[in-house]
Amino acid sequence: MQEKKYLTVLALTKYIKRKFDADPHLQDVHVRGEISNFKQHSSGHMYFTLKDEKARILAVMFSSQSRTMKFSPENGMKVVVKGDISVYEPSGQYQIYIKEMQPDGIGELFLAYEQLRKRLEAEGLFSVEHKKTIPSYPKTVGVITSPTGAAIRDVITTIKRRYPIANILVLPALVQGGNAASSIARAIEKANTLDGIDVLIVGRGGGSIEELWAFNEELVARAIHQSEVPIISAVGHETDFTIADFVADMRAPTPTAAAELAVPHIDELMERLLQRKTRMLQSMNGRYRFEKQRLDRVQKSYAFRYPHRLYEQKLEQVDKLTEMLVRGASRLTDVKKSQHETIHNRLMRNHPRVALREAESRFVRSQKDIGRAMEQILLKKQTEFKRIISTLQALSPLKIMERGYSLVYSEENQLIKSIKQVKENEPLQIQLTDGSLLCNVQNIKESENRDE
Amino acid sequence: MTNEQKVSFEEAMNKLEQIVDKLEEGDVPLEEAIAFYKEGMELSKLCHNKLKSVEEQLTQIITEDGSKQNFAIEEEE
């Protein structure tokens, strides 16, 4: 026991690995199984488990081998693989190193097609909003296809027949084989750098799925998607649709059909032009007739034929109105006149003449009355006066003087009634009936029997 | 017809169609209608000329070095 030799794990593993590698039955084995735990490293290497109902084996496929594969492996996918069995020393696990892998049952290309179609559809490359409008009247049509072959001939003859005024620019491309996809994509990019291409036809004549494969490649799909120039896909009619058909702005079943879609037919255009011209002429003619009729109608109108009727009527109207005016005015005058008369009569009825006459007569009466009264008063006063006069005359000093009496006045014209009023040598005036005597007092004698 | 070079066939066709529509609607004032009609006839002539002037257009091919060359269909044997 003591002399027993211990192996290192590595030595043991290396031994086992050598056993595996040396066994010819474990080289280039073909295995059928289902993929699970699929992982793809950023380096491109694939790690997964290959299993069936009862067993499983780890599987590795390096990017150098997987790169040429058209489809992408997925969990649950049934595949047939070819590879070598070996041991991965760090984990002590045996695994199959796959060199080739194909989908089991269906064709590899079909699967790849389906996968790409689903992926691009999910990405939205087929969506309608990405579709560009194909111009109605292209000046230049770009054609991307093989410069030899039926496709280019069909396109050119169709365009020249339908729309000879269009330029055709052929951008040659490989349409078959391993380099076809990149060649087509490059041609599409090139077409976008050139000026003046209005629409692109990308396609080729019919063929098997392998022959048409370039039109199912992602590279071509992306190039079509990114193209600024609208693209009509025209891949021959043997398969239903290529990926390019889905991405293109319009799909034609054949190159000839694509050419028909790309350009209008010149005869149709001529026809349309003629139609428009005719329509324009017709509408102008219609318009002319209509306006002419309107003019005729107006010119034939009553007013134009009998222009004097226009003012005759007016004249009549003026006459009528004048008449009405006159009649109205006179009626108004009448009314006013009668009103005036009424008022005048009322005024006359209330004229102050009567009152005046009354006042006059009253005045006359009063005057008479007053005259009469005055006369009476006068008469009475006269009588009275006469009586008084006669009385007065009877009492008049003059009468008395007539009887010999006189009046003596002092120098101051005061009536002297007593001797006491005068002194000696004083002048006196003695008034007689027929004049006065100027005398001086010589002597004053007082009477003795004065008190009788 | 000085603008013959500037107007594209498509523009001319669209314009012509608009003019025809307008004239057919009929509510354009007469002077305008006449102007439209004149323009329409010019456009029609222009389109016609563009379609008729079939100076056989070129078919060219882009060669390897990127230049353009005239292209003739090679008949398949």
The string of DSSP codes covering chain B is -GGGTTS-HHHHHHHHHHHHHHHHH--S-HHHHHHHHHHHHHHHHHHHHHHH------EEEE-TTS-EEE--PPPP-
CB contact under 8 A, B62 and A172: yes
Instruction: Write out the residues of chain B at the interface with chain A, using a CB-CB cutoff of 8 A.
Output: 8-10, 13, 16-17, 19-20, 23-24, 26, 30, 33, 37, 40-41, 44, 47-48, 50-51, 53-54, 56-62, 66, 68, 71, 73-74, 76
Edge-to-edge strand order for the sheet containing A231-235? A250-252, A231-235, A199-204, A140-145, A167-172, B59-62, B68-70
CA B41 to chain centre: 13
Query: A148: helix, coil or strand?
Result: coil
Q: Are A220 and A244 in contact (CB under 8 A)?
A: yes
For residues B8 and B10, give the distance between their C-alpha atoms in angstroms, rounded to a whole number. Answer: 5
Quickly count: other Cβ atoms within 10 Å of residue A283's Cβ. 23
Binned at pLDDT 50, 70 and 90, residue B76 comes out as very low
Note the pLDDT of residue A1.
53
Mind listing the pLDDT tens digit for each residue in A68-127? 787 888 888 888 899 999 999 898 899 999 998 888 877 677 778 888 888 988 998 888
Residue A188, min C-alpha distance to chain B (Å): 12
Mind listing the pLDDT tens digit for each residue in B33-65? 888 888 888 888 888 887 777 666 677 887 777
| pTM (predicted TM-score) | 0.55
Note the pLDDT of residue B48.
82
Give A20: exposed, middle or buried? Use CB within 10 Å, 0-12, 13-18, 19+.
middle
Query: A408: helix, coil or strand?
Result: strand
Candidates A32, A174, A5; CA nearest to A98 is A32
Residue A280, min C-alpha distance to chain B (Å): 5
Of A13-27, A157-171, A402-416, the range with the lowest mean pLDDT is A402-416
Q: Which residues of chain A neighbour B70 with C-beta distances below 8 Å?
A: none
Q: Which residues of chain B neighbour A172 with C-beta distances below 8 Å?
A: 61-62
Pick the residue of A279, A282, A285, A292 with the most B CBs within 10 A to test the interface with B by mutation.
A279
**Closest residue in A to B59 (Cα–Cα):** A168
The pLDDT of residue A41 is above 50: yes
CB contact under 8 A, A273 and B44: yes
Note the pLDDT of residue B26.
74
Mind listing the pLDDT tens digit for each residue in A239-275? 578 889 999 999 998 899 999 999 998 888 888 888 8
Note the pLDDT of residue B5.
56
- In B47-56, which positions are buried (b, 16+ CB within 10 angstroms) versus exposed (e)? bbebbeeeee
CB contact under 8 A, B73 and A153: yes
For residues A279 and A373, give the distance between their C-alpha atoms in angstroms, rounded to a whole number. Answer: 130
Note the pLDDT of residue A206.
82
Note the pLDDT of residue A47.
93
Note the pLDDT of residue B1.
43
For residues A302 and A449, give the distance between their C-alpha atoms in angstroms, rounded to a whole number. Answer: 153
Binned at pLDDT 50, 70 and 90, residue A433 comes out as confident
Note the pLDDT of residue A213.
85
For residues A162 and A165, give the distance between their C-alpha atoms in angstroms, rounded to a whole number. Answer: 9
Average pLDDT, rounded, for chain A: 86
CB contact under 8 A, A168 and B47: no
For residues A88 and A47, give the distance between their C-alpha atoms in angstroms, rounded to a whole number. Answer: 13
Higher pLDDT, A365 or A450: A365
> Residues near A141 by Cβ (< 8 Å), separated by ≥ 6?
A159, A166, A167, A168, A169, A197, A198, A199, A200, A201, A259, A262, A263
The pLDDT of residue B31 is above 90: no
Note the pLDDT of residue A393.
74
Q: Which helix (H) or strand (E) holds A117?
A: helix A108-123
Binned at pLDDT 50, 70 and 90, residue A452 comes out as very low
Q: Which residues of chain B neighbour A156 with C-beta distances below 8 Å?
A: 59, 73
Rounded to 5 degrees, what are φ and ψ at A99?
-105, -35
Task: Tell me if ipTM is over 0.85.
Answer: no
The pLDDT of residue A307 is above 70: yes
